[in-house]
Structure 1
Amino acid sequence: MSEPSTTYEPHAIEERYYKLWEERGYFEIEGNKAIQKEGKRFSIMLPPPNVTGSLHIGHAFNHTLIDIMTRFKRMDGYKTLWQPGTDHAGIATQNVVEKQLLAQGITKEELGREKFLEKVWEWKAKSGGTIVGQMRKMGVSPAWSRERFTMDEGLKRAVRKAFLALYSEGMIVRGNYMVNWCTHDGALSDIEVEYEQHKGKLYHLRYFLENSQEYIVVATTRPETFFGDTAVMVHPEDERYTHLIGQYVTLPLINRRVKIIADDYVDSSFGTGCVKVTPAHDVNDYEVGKRHDLEFITIFNEAGFLNDQCGAFEGQERLEAREGIVAALEAQGFVEKIEDYENQVGHCYRCKNVVEPYISKQWFVKKEIAEGATQKVNAGLAQFYPAHWINSFNAWMKELRDWCISRQLWWGHQIPVFYCRTCNHEWATEEETQTACPACQSTDIYQDPDVLDTWFSSGLWPFSTLGWGNEECGKGETWFEEDMAEFYPNSLMVTGFDILFFWVARMMFQGEHALKELPFKDIYLHALVKDEHGQKMSKSKGNVIDPIDTIQSHSADALRFTLAVLAIQGRDIKLSPDKLDQMRNFTNKLFNASKYLLLNANRFEDLDAITIKTELGRYMQSRLHGATKEVREHLETYRFNDAATVLYRFLWNEFCDWGIELSKAQREAVPELGAIFKEAMKLLHPFMPFITEHLYQTLGNTTLEENTSIMVLPYPTNETKDDAMEGLFERIIEAIVSIRRAKATIELGNQRIDLAYVKLNTPQDLSAAVPFIKLLAKCGAVEFVSEKIPDAVRDVSDNLEVLIPLSGIDLSPIIARLEGQAGKLQKEVDKLSGMLSNERFVANAPEAVVVQNKAALAEATDKLAKVTEELGNLRD
């Protein structure tokens, strides 16, 4: 007959349990109806992952923290909504489908907009949502029946309503602005541009004065942009050039004349003090151009191909043309010099293309939209965790610029603005389609071809998912009229700090502007998950930890608990294989504890169904109450690591190690310990849902198929601790540890001894402690004394002293061994002391060697003191 397994096998139960939880509706807002408390509501939104994505370790971390809070609140009687869903991810999704079509030799233009969008929806139905299935493997518990997609019909209506409201009050405007332009993906907002250090060149170009051989030198990192220059600028007080102000230079190759102007924006000390001005292709020059009423000349089209302003280079891609343009400038003597140069270059956050400043007609949300949210946050109506993030929020809001919300894509929320070709009327509407112009009734109308920035629709997520914008449609299948009243504002937002400005800030000002109330009360911003060395994970480094692979190798519970233990507010998470192994060992520890309990009984009651009578039961129950109080306090302030650490300490150290060992001396406490362990599984459940469900059902001699789940039972509550019983067992454990140490001193570590004396520092009745001490310390008898016992080895701890009689024990080999150790240590101390007292050695030796010798001397001295003390104890 094979030995029973000592290892927890999670995969046998994870899928089965999750399916039952979901089928029974436990994740839904009424899933815990039997324990819901009047007036208690908790709502949290899943940061909608891109529909193109798959679960990475950052998702796993974020989802774990959300699920811990959701399961905790659900068990604590709150009517709970964790709202799931995915984001249509305009740029990313369009890129995926475009690449698939190009692999077949088809461009989206050949298909046309309507057919292309059909292909995107086909892809979404087939491949989108992979991440949702992977989330289930993590054991997360959102209300799946309410799953939303940022392009579903309800959210489309919400987007149109939000747009129309802002448009009508003049908060959304359209105009020619300087924008960040990706020649592949179109307009980008400021935070969608990623800046990277770039090793390039600085080109010093000669601009000849009109009808003269005299020239001035300007420097640029983008020589192809000189075709768009409409001025050269100097500082008005720069004596080198004051005589040239108002004169003209002719541009190389194309001979267009441009004026030399003066502006105090120029830094005379930088470079030559002369600056080329390209108003249509440089952010700073754009402002200069407006101040001086300069011409704005665009030199390339939306795809980045040079136009007829660029002479012989017309039709070439702007970056690919650079080499040829520089060669032509050099050939005709227009290059003064070329230097190596490092600078920050902006790239598209999606396709990594170099971003260009570009003037384009776009739609913008005015920065004033954020004023109300900023005021309310600083009035304390929302709290950041960690608190310092309010400083970053305020700094960004202070520098906020108008937000470009139009994107040159086909996949997304098409801007709900229509134009009439007959009378040039423009109007916005909540209706999806229009048949005639409301001004002149002409049918020659068209809709704006651009779509909205993905962040515009996801910025509505805290309330659009609750039915906002659909009020006139009646009750829908996935939303309810009461949802806004019950779940807005959301209770909490949990997300990474890296999207504070991409998403969190946008939700805050869109929610506040639309509803005059901030969309959530608490904002928990976690750090990044990195490898054990603090390095970012990347495939190229080979240090990626895949959550799905980790679940397969370690279990969902081990991964979740590891992430929770590491979730220290404000610190990066350093995830290591060793830490994952440790938490897998923790699951095995819990599993084996349940096996021990079941050796003594085949069924255990819940804690509230029994009365605890034994000393050990009262002690473990009190320790459980203490852990419960701490865990609750930590969860309420989002100190996930502290809560997880308390659970680990209580379950591993206090219950599994001491509680179970002590029960061997008080067998009648085992049924009580089983009930306490079941209650502890409730406490642990939000962190480790699968094993806690499994052990709770197993200890009750039930199965989940026939019993209520642990996840909809009441969460443990704070109860009064039993200080007297805790004091008793603290002394019991201290005495056991001290006796074990004393036995080890005389090399009787695991052997049974006849007698041990215990001398307490303060009087205390420990008669109840004797059976525990005798069994666990392996003593035939334990006596409490008030005086020192002669001829005994002793061990001194904080509250007591242990003495073991030495009669009948041959100490000579032990003393000889210790004397040998003492002799060697004394020689080491003498040698190091001599070296360090030698002034010449200290003066000439490298500092590191001196420091090393001092540390070695301190260590040897400490060891010698301990050995000497042991010898003294044995000789007394």
Structure 2
Amino acid sequence: MAEFYDAKIVEEKFYKICEDRGYFEIDGNKNIQEDGKTFCIMMPPPNVTGVLHIGHALTFTLQDIITRYKRMDGYKTLWQPGLDHAGIATQNVVEKQLLAQGITKEELGRDEFLKKTWEWKEKSGGTIVYQMRRLGITPAWSRERFTMDEGLKNSVKKAFVNLYNKGLIIRGNYMVNWCTHDGALSDVEVEHKANKGKLYHLKYPLADEKSKFVIVATTRPETYFGDTAVMVNPDDNRYKELIGKEVILPLINRKIKIIADSHVDSEFGTGVVKVTPAHDVNDYEVGKRHNLEFITIFDEKGILNEYCAEFEGLERLEARDKIVQKLQDEGFVEKIEDYENQVGYCYRCKNVVEPYISKQWFVKSQIADEAIKSVNEGKAKFYPSHWINSFNAWMRELKDWCISRQLWWGHQIPVFYCDCGHEWADENEPLQCPKCNGVKFTQDPDVLDTWFSSGLWPFSTLGWGNGNALKGQKWNEGDLSEFYPNTMLITGFDILFFWVARMMFQSNNALGELPFKDIYLHALVKDKDGKKMSKSSGNIIDPLNMIDEFSADILRFTLTILCVQGRDIRMSNEQMVLSRNFTNKLYNASKFLLMNADKFSDFDENAISTKLGKYMLNRFKIAVNETRKALDSYRFNDAADRVYKFLWDEFCDWGIELSKADKSAISELGMIFKESMKLLSPFMPFISEYLYHELSGSNLENSQSIMISKYPKSSQIDNNIIAEFELIIEAIISIRRAKATIDQGNAKIAKAFIKLNSNLDISSYLSFIKLLAKCQDVEITEDIISNSARDVSENLESFVPLAGVDTTAIIARLNSQKTKLEKEIAKLENMLNNEKFIANAPQNVLETNRQGLAAAKDKLAKVVNELGNLT
């Protein structure tokens, strides 16, 4: 073997070989597929604008692990890859590129702009796919889909028309979340953040007594031009006599009524609030209850209109300071206070979102009813299970979903309007109006929310509704019967409502069945201090940098072993180094084995005859069982940890060391280690492949990959051989501890004695104990050996005679430790017995002291025991 393992060369080379051979495809493992076993998982389609980030790396790693495991376990496996067209994000990118050239999209026109967007998509869309390959993931790349490919366009039209004809898609004037740059947004596309703003107290004069006024507190003074009422709580005695009277809006002198509504919080501001039904979500409902006028004061771009007097033509946020200054000049501002509130921002362009009344298309909330019922009947299961509570809470409060977007890039809404007044939805390009047969009709200019098409992903990618676009493709309509419902979904919890819930109700509506049986939601990857990663914090971890510095295997394994269900991952270089140490351990173990043999046979349990070989075989069987159980229940970290412990703790630390006393077992250990590379393969596919071939005396270029070989299975376990070797290991550890008490830890001693509390006979194993405990002789005794260093463990006692050992310095050191510990214990006991200290000390300080006392007492007991043995 080479002196060092060159991960970069191996990973690039092996990945290309396996992809070129078609191993990632649904028939890539045909030689080991078992009848009736299928597995399907969908890749959350990353944005075509995107680059690989650490969250992607975690999602794709876990998906790859389960896919590789199922593939090796005889399943016909489909991991469906693809990209999302990312309507708002992509259009923003292309618009900015054009603006840099001094061109607006309006100057180009819709058709030309879309051509430019497709050109950009073709150039940039492969970036994240290349990065995913660097991670070593194995989706069926030949079947890669795009949410705007011809087949999926047809699928989206079919789904829309289906819902439209059922009355589950409607159009109407509603209050929506409005971005003045990107248009309408759904609730989940609005990010609410703490905002340090101002609370403006404005004076509204009474119409019948202008010297008097009410004071209204608002955070958005520019919207007062749209006020159609002032409102107080009916139980607020301060204002009861004003109910029904009128006030005059400052500067524009329009009269509005004072109304009463229990919605008003009397404790907020002055207890008097302005009502702007066209520009506030709560006021919208108040306006409907009280039949108020709805006055829109700015257009879709946020430009103030004629209702705003001299401020007409200004952008709404830019106008704020000017409006406030005018109000101050005219004496209509009582005071201005600092105020912190929550403000909604567009999740893409970060523009402040406005409540705005607009004619939009909506999916009615009733679409989710059956999906909610099915989930709560146990037809889908969440991992961790508590996510069902979040799912239910959100779905049961679901509002109608605004699906129309004022964009050009996306799926144009398949609704047509004829001059005769007829409106209809159509999957095809109509030639005439179905009502009047006229040809003067237009298509709705808006496009669908990106999440509408991605919500169809579990079945549209399998051919549902793809129509003629199926011809000549790798995928076909037969895939739907074979791979729907998908087996499971793996994604981050943060898109539970963006994507997971939408897939569930859209799939259930189209096919009458939930799209997947198991839903694994992983937590966030944070920095080593538990902070969320962000550019502003400067703590972003670039997975490609980590791959370059360490390797894909090491990044994958680190993410996996840290991924405890329901717990955020704290990522750091220190964790990566630990995983690198593991790969070094594996490499060195292989080098040791190959120092003793040219190559090793393929795994054959019946060929293992030595006692050490049988012990390691049975430890391997246990590891296989526990790894499989963990993977089957999606406890990825436990699976990785179990493989790690077998290979490092059991095989390397003990198997290899014990083999130095029985060279005849090395050929069997090499066979087992080779097979364990298959166990490791889903987690660390490259180094496991490399070491497997090194140990076989072969190479991947002219051999089959282990990624399409059978995943290890366990057979009956021999607990007797395990118990015997566990007793041998316990004896070695015990003698080492006894030697350490007399500073003989690394020295070879003449003799040690073992007194067993077990019925097992290990007399034939003493050669292992002699070598690893560094003793010329080991004797099993039934007596207590006097004048010796003694160690007591669970199943035995060990004795190291003190003859010839000068214990003076050792006893002095132990007595010094004893004195220090006694003083520490006395100090802590005095503190914890002091009632005043107990009453005043913080709970964490008390707990620290209690733990310190317990630890000190434990150490003292050990020191006293050691002194007793020596004296």
TM-score bracket, shorter-length normalisation: over 0.9
Q: CA deviation at 1:244?
A: 3.2
Structure 1 partner of 2:321? 323
Answer yes or no: is 1:720 the counterpart of 2:721.
no
Distance 1:576 1:789 in 2: 50
Distance 1:612 1:658 in 2: 18
Structure 2 partner of 1:247? 245
Tell me which of 784, 803, 820 is aligned to 2:799: 803
Structure 2 partner of 1:368? 366
Q: Which digits, 9 at most, give the CA deviation of each residue in 1:759-802, with x for residues without a partner? A: 11123211321121122222222221112233333222111111
Tell me which of 434, 438, 448 is aligned to 1:442: 438
Structure 2 partner of 1:275? 273
Q: CA deviation at 1:199?
A: 1.2
TM-score using structure 1 length: 0.96
Percent sequence identity over aligned pairs: 64
Structure 1 partner of 2:809? 816
Aligned partners of 1:6 and 1:588 also within 8 Å: no
* Pairing of 1:521-536 with structure 2 (within 5 A): 521-536=517-532
Distance 1:831 1:634 in 2: 45
Distance 2:831 2:163 in 1: 82
Distance 1:458 1:517 in 2: 17
Distance 2:847 2:239 in 1: 62
Aligned partners of 1:41 and 1:487 also within 8 Å: yes
Tell me which of 610, 613, 619 is aligned to 1:614: 610
Q: Which moved more, 1:674-683 or 1:201-210?
A: 201-210
Distance 1:527 1:838 in 2: 42
* Pairing of 1:695-734 with structure 2 (within 5 A): 695-734=691-730
Aligned partners of 2:247 and 2:255 also within 8 Å: yes
Secondary structure of the equivalent of 2:128? helix
Distance 1:619 1:152 in 2: 56
Distance 1:461 1:841 in 2: 66
Q: CA deviation at 1:34?
A: 0.8
Structure 2 partner of 1:20? 17
Q: CA deviation at 1:163?
A: 0.3
Secondary structure of the equivalent of 2:201? strand
Task: Give the CA RMSD over aligned residues.
Answer: 2.1
Structure 2 partner of 1:220? 218
Q: Which digits, 9 at most, give the CA deviation of each residue in 1:841-870, with x for residues without a partner? A: 986899589988877666555444433322
Distance 1:718 1:851 in 2: 46
* Pairing of 1:160-559 with structure 2 (within 5 A): 160-213=157-210, 214-420=212-418, 422-431=419-428, 433-471=429-467, 475-559=471-555
Segments of structure 1 that go 5 or more residues without pairing to the other structure are: none
Distance 1:759 1:157, change over 3 A: same
Structure 2 partner of 1:627? 623
Aligned partners of 1:825 and 1:860 also within 8 Å: no
Distance 1:263 1:837, change over 3 A: closer
Aligned partners of 2:742 and 2:810 also within 8 Å: no
Aligned partners of 1:842 and 1:850 also within 8 Å: no
Letter in 1 for 2:117: V
Letter in 2 for 1:19: K
Segments of structure 2 that go 5 or more residues without pairing to the other structure are: none
Secondary structure of the equivalent of 2:196? strand
Q: CA deviation at 1:610?
A: 5.5
Aligned partners of 1:193 and 1:347 also within 8 Å: yes
Structure 1 partner of 2:75? 78
Letter in 2 for 1:91: I
Answer yes or no: is 1:51 the counterpart of 2:48.
yes
Q: Which moved more, 1:205-214 or 1:383-392?
A: 205-214
Distance 1:838 1:233, change over 3 A: closer
Tell me which of 120, 127, 140 is aligned to 1:123: 120
Q: CA deviation at 1:9?
A: 1.9
Q: Which digits, 9 at most, give the CA deviation of each residue in 1:632-663, with x for residues without a partner? A: 11111110111111111100010011000111
Q: Which moved more, 1:67-76 or 1:325-334?
A: 325-334
Structure 2 partner of 1:41? 38
Q: CA deviation at 1:242?
A: 3.7
Secondary structure of the equivalent of 2:217? strand
Answer yes or no: is 1:826 the counterpart of 2:823.
no
Distance 1:43 1:659 in 2: 38
Q: Which digits, 9 at most, give the CA deviation of each residue in 1:319-359, with x for residues without a partner? A: 00011111111111212222221111111111111100000
Q: Which moved more, 1:175-184 or 1:608-617?
A: 608-617
Structure 1 partner of 2:59? 62
Secondary structure of the equivalent of 1:13? helix
Distance 1:309 1:697, change over 3 A: same
Distance 1:215 1:46 in 2: 61
Secondary structure of the equivalent of 2:209? coil
Distance 1:104 1:810 in 2: 87
Distance 2:17 2:483 in 1: 26
Distance 1:479 1:824 in 2: 74
Distance 1:762 1:827, change over 3 A: closer
Distance 2:237 2:816 in 1: 85
TM-score using structure 2 length: 0.96
Distance 1:861 1:359, change over 3 A: closer
Q: What is the count of residue pairs matched by the alignment? A: 867
Distance 1:157 1:742 in 2: 76
Distance 1:763 1:105, change over 3 A: same
Distance 1:674 1:379, change over 3 A: same
Q: CA deviation at 1:219?
A: 1.5
Letter in 2 for 1:280: A
Distance 1:565 1:439, change over 3 A: same
Answer yes or no: is 1:678 the counterpart of 2:674.
yes
Letter in 2 for 1:167: Y
Structure 2 partner of 1:871? 867
Q: CA deviation at 1:241?
A: 3.4
Distance 1:299 1:210 in 2: 23
Aligned partners of 1:462 and 1:507 also within 8 Å: yes
Distance 1:38 1:328, change over 3 A: same
* Pairing of 1:564-583 with structure 2 (within 5 A): 564-583=560-579
Q: Which moved more, 1:303-312 or 1:843-852?
A: 843-852
Distance 1:857 1:829, change over 3 A: farther
Distance 1:137 1:856, change over 3 A: closer
Q: CA deviation at 1:268?
A: 3.6
Structure 2 partner of 1:781? 777
